[in-house]
Amino acid sequence: METKKIEKKWQKYWKENHTFEAKNNSTKEKYYVLVEFPYPSGAGLHVGHVRSYASLDAVARKKRMEGYNVLFPMGWDAFGLPAEEYAIKNHVHPSVAVKENIKTFKGQLESLGLSFDWSREIATTDPKYYKWTQWQFLKFYEAGLAYKAKKTINWCPNCKIGLANEEVEGGCCERCGGPIVHKEKEQWMLGMKQYAERLLDGLKDTSFQEKTKLAQINWIGKSTGAEIDFLIDDTDEKLKVYTTRPDTIFGVTFMVIAPEHPILKKLEARILNMDEIRAYQDFASHKSEMERTQLNKDKTGVKILGFYAINPVTKTKIPVYISDYVMMNYGTGAIMAVPAHDERDYEFAKKFDIPIIEVIKGGDISKEAYVGDGEMVNSSFLNGIETKQEAIAKILEYMDKEGIGHPSVKYRLQDWVFSRQRFWGEPIPMIKCENCGWVPVPYEDLPVKLPNVASYEPTENGESPLADIPEFVNCKCPKCGNDAKRETDTMPNWAGSSWYWLRYMDPHNDKEFVSMDALKYFGQVDWYNGGMEHATRHLLYARFWNNFLYDQGLVPNAEPFKLRTSHGMILGSNGEKMSKSKGNVINPNDCVNEYGADALRVYEMFIGDYEKEVNWNTNSLNGCKKFLDRVERIGAKLNSKTVYSPTLEVLINKTIKKVTEDLDNLKFNTAISSLMILLNEMEKQETITKKDYRTLLLLLNPMAPHITEELNEKYELGAKCCESKWPKYDDTKLIDETVTIAIQVNGKLRGTIEVPLDTTENKIQKLALENENVKKHTEGKEIIKVIVIKNKIVNIVVK
């Protein structure tokens, strides 16, 4: 039978027999394998998806054979801009395009024979799904963690959309690449910052790959320092600063506050150069994020005339500047500047001709700021202290006693901007009432559905297109019954993916977002694989969300994922990222048509180190096809015996061990190469036994599920592979009876000898010295030492 028919045949069999459906009330131990669900783009499946799905499919299939009740689900992360843009152009509801795309994607995934449990398929755009996304938003709201705030946000003037920090790349919009500006806007926020420490700490309870943990730690950006109050002269007003170096307080010669700092408003009456300040504020806000970060060497700012700050330790008057190198959204939006020991402060001081006081010995402050450690000077009671830790401890003790400062911890992580001014997202289920303020949509009224309309363009003032739809906007206040208006912002793309793995556990439940029974049984995701590009954003949002649900008693574990792994990208054969414009895109469909799904799967697992990016190579795909053809052809050598061939027994046992371990350790490439080695050896035999062949097929089945089932059936070797037990190896049969021992002279290989296993060291040494070639290299030389490592190597040291 030809490949295509075989593959269709087995795909049909699995579907009709519900072979891969996980059971919710199983007595078996569960194993939850999760791959990131795709955004169903019009372009269809990418070979990169296949790499991840095929590899984790092999894991899932093997775990099933090992006796686990495996949950391996798939769904669609289908909200997002492309569908909306398509809708704007063609005036069709985005759900229409999404439906089409899902159909294409699903067909492609099915043609690969991936063992997803399709009975649990979900889509974030399905009202039955986003009802519960909205429901969970209300939980955040009730807990005080969802709030509306006027925020200086990252605004993309091109997309007319507010972006989270996570969506800004180098000052540019991640989507359109255009520059980001700052804009004040009322936005729904989720209080993620409060969870910073938890998110940091929770990493200890996961076995994420180290690089993923580090990316998260970096992103959360914890820093330990102190908050110190500087009084403003002639007032009770305080300027609170955050610093990691309170020990340098005697070196403070000026202060800098962010241009948006509220104290400017408060002390407006005293400020003599308010015009100049306003002009600078204006200049800073119109500067794009790009300019603000990239031209970072050139410091700008304005000295505030009209008040001073008082150094709480030295009681000296200190001038205050505004400058955009201080950010309002980090720390307190104000810093104490120590130009002698901070590069940025140094540059600013040089530019504005501010004095520089050295308080730590070791550098040359006429040339640059010295940021290293050293002896404290010009610092009153700190003088003479040699280490940073000691100096910080002493000054903090002093500050605490005097009530002027205290230790403080800050995080880079910000609250999550949860509003988007877009149509194609989950409506935020809130209602604004003149009398009652913000009122949540009652639970029984969920979901707040997206309406059917003709135009999907954002409004000119940047509001969601929903704002232009009176039938959607106008409603009654659930509390007082008066006329009210619906929130027209929608949730960000990350919302639906922040809990989807939970819904898979109980996808058809219309009473609860997931039943507690299902949650308790399936617990955490055992193995979650996805792209490295999601190591910070998606993974942090998801962990935050799950930690919150845990605090609400809604899920039984704080951390959602035990293990997180990432696959490397697949690049075009020219080493560049696959893209239409470069003409190097490989379509998985074409590969399946020409080589078969099994060959594509095996190739993508064999292609190289799973975690590294790799160039596509169609020749190599063909090589994998040839391997499968050889597996098929060797069936002709079958004899009727049901034990292992003695000549193959050790190798088969070794191969079982290797494949078993490799599939658990992301080493898909060497798992396959070990099967190739086994096949090579089988081809050298006159005949092979049924047991030899069946073991090969069972081991290969997770990678190449169709052809192995077919051959297993054809030669009547036993139960269906997918319904059989994973082969076990015999520890006592892993070692060959003879070993080859290398003989070195002065560390250089001069010969090898074959000896029975566990030959004594004396005997080996004797044999080694008798070796002809070895003699040649030892003749006339003094043998100083002979090192014999049993079963391995001999090294003869001569002079």
Footprint of RNA on residues 777-796 (CB under 7 A)? 785, 787, 789, 792-793, 795
Quick check: 630 binds RNA (CB under 7 A)?
yes
C-beta separation of 490 from 426 below 8 A: yes
What angle is formed at CA 255 by the lines to CA 254 and CA 257, rounded to 5 degrees?
150
Of 223 and 552, the one with the shorter C-beta distance to RNA is: 223
Q: Please pick, from the candidates 304, 592, 607, 697, the single residue that binds RNA as defined by CB under 7 A.
A: 607
| Least distance in angstroms from the C-beta of 570 to RNA | 10
| Least distance in angstroms from the C-beta of 360 to RNA | 14
Site for RNA in 300-359 (CB under 7 A): 300, 324-327, 330-333, 335, 342, 344, 347
Residue with tokens 């190798």: 651
The 269-298 site mask, x for binding RNA (CB under 7 A), equals: -----------------------xx-xx-x
Q: Which stretch binds RNA (CB under 7 A): 145-153, 518-526, 627-635, 716-724?
A: 627-635
Q: Which stretch binds RNA (CB under 7 A): 70-78, 393-401, 619-627, 730-738?
A: 619-627
* Closest CA relative to residue 661, chosen from 670, 652, 651: 670
Cα 721 to the chain's mean position, in Å?
34
Site for RNA in 476-535 (CB under 7 A): 532-533
SS3 191: coil
| Least distance in angstroms from the C-beta of 257 to RNA | 9
Of 1 and 217, the one with the shorter C-beta distance to RNA is: 217
* Closest CA relative to residue 244, chosen from 332, 308, 320, 310: 332
Quick check: 541 binds RNA (CB under 7 A)?
no
Q: Please give the Cα distance from 773 to 111 (Å, whole number).
A: 58
Q: Please pick, from the candidates 152, 244, 285, 685, the single residue that binds RNA as defined by CB under 7 A.
A: 244
- Give the burial string for 452-465 (b: 16+ CB within 10 Å, else e): ebeebebeeebebb
Of 125 and 565, the one with the shorter C-beta distance to RNA is: 565
Of 29 and 609, the one with the shorter C-beta distance to RNA is: 609
Of 215 and 469, the one with the shorter C-beta distance to RNA is: 215
| Least distance in angstroms from the C-beta of 537 to RNA | 8
* Closest CA relative to residue 651, chosen from 699, 705, 607: 699
Q: Which stretch binds RNA (CB under 7 A): 29-37, 52-60, 164-172, 728-736?
A: 164-172
Q: Please pick, from the candidates 393, 563, 769, 797, the single residue that binds RNA as defined by CB under 7 A.
A: 797
| Least distance in angstroms from the C-beta of 225 to RNA | 5
Quick check: 458 binds RNA (CB under 7 A)?
no
* Closest CA relative to residue 143, chosen from 558, 553, 420, 516: 553
Quick check: 149 binds RNA (CB under 7 A)?
no
Query: Which residues, listed in sequence order, are joined to residue 321 by a DSSP beta bridge?
Result: 256, 303
Quick check: 367 binds RNA (CB under 7 A)?
no
Quick check: 407 binds RNA (CB under 7 A)?
no
CA-CA-CA-CA torsion sign (261, 262, 263, 266): positive
Of 17 and 218, the one with the shorter C-beta distance to RNA is: 218
| Least distance in angstroms from the C-beta of 325 to RNA | 4
* Closest CA relative to residue 522, chosen from 480, 557, 552, 473: 557
* Closest CA relative to residue 71, chosen from 476, 501, 706: 501
C-beta separation of 309 from 231 below 8 A: yes
C-beta separation of 216 from 570 below 8 A: no
CA-CA-CA-CA torsion sign (319, 321, 325, 330): positive
| Least distance in angstroms from the C-beta of 605 to RNA | 11
Task: Write the single-letter amino acid at 663.
Answer: L
| Least distance in angstroms from the C-beta of 794 to RNA | 8
Site for RNA in 178-207 (CB under 7 A): none
Q: Please pick, from the candidates 29, 142, 169, 386, the single residue that binds RNA as defined by CB under 7 A.
A: 169
Of 142 and 390, the one with the shorter C-beta distance to RNA is: 390
HSE-CB at 72 with a 13 A cutoff on CA atoms is 24
| Least distance in angstroms from the C-beta of 714 to RNA | 19
Which H, E and C letters describe 192-216, residue by residue?
CHHHHHHHHHHHHHCCCCHHHHHHH
* Closest CA relative to residue 436, chosen from 481, 404, 466: 481
Site for RNA in 694-753 (CB under 7 A): 740, 742, 744, 746-749, 752
H/E stretch holding 783: strand 783-789
Q: Please pick, from the candidates 377, 676, 734, 755, the single residue that binds RNA as defined by CB under 7 A.
A: 676
Site for RNA in 84-113 (CB under 7 A): none
| Least distance in angstroms from the C-beta of 742 to RNA | 3
| Least distance in angstroms from the C-beta of 625 to RNA | 8
The angle, 0 to 180 degrees and rounded to 10, between the axes of the packed helices 47-65 and 649-664 is 120
Quick check: 225 binds RNA (CB under 7 A)?
yes
Contacts with 455 (C-beta within 8 Å, 6 or more apart), sequence order: 88, 91, 465, 468
| Least distance in angstroms from the C-beta of 318 to RNA | 15
Q: Which stretch binds RNA (CB under 7 A): 195-203, 559-567, 601-609, 642-650?
A: 601-609
Quick check: 139 binds RNA (CB under 7 A)?
no
| Least distance in angstroms from the C-beta of 217 to RNA | 8
Q: Please pick, from the candidates 255, 258, 542, 651, the single residue that binds RNA as defined by CB under 7 A.
A: 258
HSE-CB at 315 with a 13 A cutoff on CA atoms is 2
SS3 538: helix
Which H, E and C letters describe 570-612, residue by residue?
EECCCCCCCCHHHCCCCCHHHHHHHHCHHHHHHHHHHCCCCCC
Q: In 436-534, at which residue ranges do the beta strands (DSSP E only) sit?
A: 437-440, 474-476, 483-486, 525-530
Q: Please pick, from the candidates 19, 152, 589, 615, the single residue that binds RNA as defined by CB under 7 A.
A: 615
Q: Please pick, from the candidates 197, 375, 629, 649, the single residue that binds RNA as defined by CB under 7 A.
A: 629
| Least distance in angstroms from the C-beta of 554 to RNA | 30
Quick check: 626 binds RNA (CB under 7 A)?
yes
Quick check: 410 binds RNA (CB under 7 A)?
yes
| Least distance in angstroms from the C-beta of 66 to RNA | 22
| Least distance in angstroms from the C-beta of 700 to RNA | 13
Q: Which stretch binds RNA (CB under 7 A): 10-18, 195-203, 609-617, 687-695?
A: 609-617
Of 150 and 785, the one with the shorter C-beta distance to RNA is: 785
Of 559 and 604, the one with the shorter C-beta distance to RNA is: 604
CA-CA-CA-CA torsion sign (589, 594, 599, 603): negative
# binding residues, RNA (CB under 7 A): 82
Q: Please give the Cα distance from 307 to 453 (Å, whole number).
A: 56
| Least distance in angstroms from the C-beta of 762 to RNA | 17
C-beta separation of 703 from 2 below 8 A: no
Quick check: 406 binds RNA (CB under 7 A)?
no
Q: Please give the Cα distance from 320 to 418 (Å, whole number).
A: 35
